Structure 1
């Protein structure tokens, strides 16, 4: 029944990745019913294969593009959008994690992110200068415990004004991709990146592994043509 439903949905133009998520949600629901002893049979989706999905392009901003974006954000009427963006670029935080920061989450050169997508708290180090800038921003613009007010629409306006080309479905997430990409290009460790991003699985973080300079250098040195000296 689900396979037939899935076939009808794919024919209407629904993306395979969306249907794979629906399948995983329903499979998880059956697994929970089995655990609670409400379902006595085998999980009906356990043997149904998910669609193979071509991995999408992983785009990020180079340093010149980041400089252009920061310059534009600095002129925004929204007093928070620049600092929220800097948090994302400095820590790899998701926009919602950065925008919802409270002053108590900034201590001793660390930002602690809580209520994350993976449900696990994580701490990311920042420079002393940036910590001071965040605390100064809180003193001037903070409300209650919160450092920032909503700034999403202002970020969207800045991206539009700079004419930066983003992949489909990306907006604020380009900041997180940019952090991770530059981290790896500058010699960062993939396991450390997994912890910084808060990925539950290393598989998700491995999307950035190909950017490692060690990886690229090995490709130059260890291919058969190079070894033959041709």
Structure 2
């Protein structure tokens, strides 16, 4: 806001502030976070009854639209096609990177920056030191995920790269640094299949959909995805429309058994 005092703020000024961020290249999600922070500041000033505080009706008139929230879920056949296409890439790690994401539901950045010291293979737990929520989180590993990790280790050793406890899992052989992105190789792999609309983040959606469609509860999926609020996980609740019908039959069967005994 520069040198503009609180009492001089107007909705027009705040809307101009939002437009300036949009022109500056900020993403809608980031701008909406900034709006949330600003609203918190303004509301706190009103609660504290700061002299010369903001006007009561002063606020951003409209949040930034987030676009199409349609989620993409890969079917089993599509998963195998994607993995095969990734194996055909010359990238040293793309296939293993994608396989790990599908098996764990991890975010791309979490896997990209993972170090070997983050994995406890006795407890089969992967600890992400700093997740998107700003907290550490634990990812439960399956036996298949453990096998992929071993394949990553073997491939890394084959490339002559370090696999010490502090080393990253995915090291660029040329730069000897962790990868900044897998998007170029991923884009080639998905375009080969005519699946340009599939994002790397959709692998996380796919992980959640596979769990829910095979009987995992929303609360279990919440823990496995590391969502802080259940509302984030409830986006997947529609994937099992018959689940509630199945659950109400529990009570119906109980009453039927009681009546049959009498």
> Unaligned regions of 5+ residues in structure 2, if any?
1-9, 172-178, 250-262
Paired with 2:93 and 2:44, the residues of 1 have a C-alpha distance of 42
Please say which structure displays the higher CA radius of gyration: 2
Residue aligning to 2:223: 195
**Aligned with residue 91 of structure 2, among 62, 75, 78:** 78
1:31–1:43 Cα contact (<8 Å) kept: no
The alpha carbon displacement at 1:193 in A equals 1.2
CA contact (8 A) 2:102 2:206 kept: yes
Are positions 1:56 and 2:79 aligned together? no
What is the TM-score of this pair, normalised by structure 2?
0.67
State the 1:159 CA deviation.
1.4
The SS at the match of 2:89 is coil
Distance 2:116 2:71 in 1: 32
1:33 Cα offset (Å): 7.4
Q: Which residue in the other structure is 1:6 paired with? A: 15
Helix, strand or coil: the match of 1:118? coil
Range that drifts further, 56-65 or 128-137: 128-137
SS of the residue aligned with 2:70? coil
Q: Does 1:102 align with 2:115?
A: yes
Decide which of 127, 135, 146 is 2:168's aligned counterpart.
146
Q: TM-score with structure 1 length normalisation?
A: 0.75
Shift of 1:138: 2.0
- Do the aligned partners of 1:23 and 1:50 also contact (CA within 8 Å) in 2? no
Aligned to 2:105: 92
Q: Indicate yes or no: 2:32 matched with 1:24.
A: no
Q: What corresponds to 2:205 in structure 1?
A: 177
* Alpha-carbon offset, residue 23 of structure 1: 1.8
Q: Provide, for residues 165-222 of structure 1, a one-character-per-residue CA deviation record: whole Å limited to 9, x for no partner.
A: 52xxx6211111111111111111111111221212111110001113653645998x
Contact 2:107-2:204 at 8 Å conserved across structures: yes
Separation in structure 2 between the aligned mates of residue 82 and residue 214 of structure 1, nearest angstrom: 35
* Closer, same or farther: CA 33–148 of 1 in aligned 2, 3 Å: farther
Q: In structure 1, the residue corresponding to 2:92 is in which secondary structure?
A: coil
Question: What is the deviation of 1:156?
Answer: 2.0
CA spacing shift, 1:55–1:159, aligned 2, 3 Å: closer
Q: Aligned equivalents of 1:114 and 1:44: distance in 2?
A: 41
- Mapped to 2, the partners of 1:190 and 1:84 lie a distance apart of 26
Describe the superposition over 1:71-93 as per-residue Cα deviations: whole angstroms up to 9, x where unpaired: 00111111111111112111111
Structure 1: where are the runs of 5+ without partners? 222-230
Say if 1:187 and 1:193 are closer, same or farther in 2 by CA, change over 3 A.
Answer: same
Tell me which residue corresponds to 2:191.
160
For the pair 1:126 / 2:138, whether they are aligned, the reply is: no
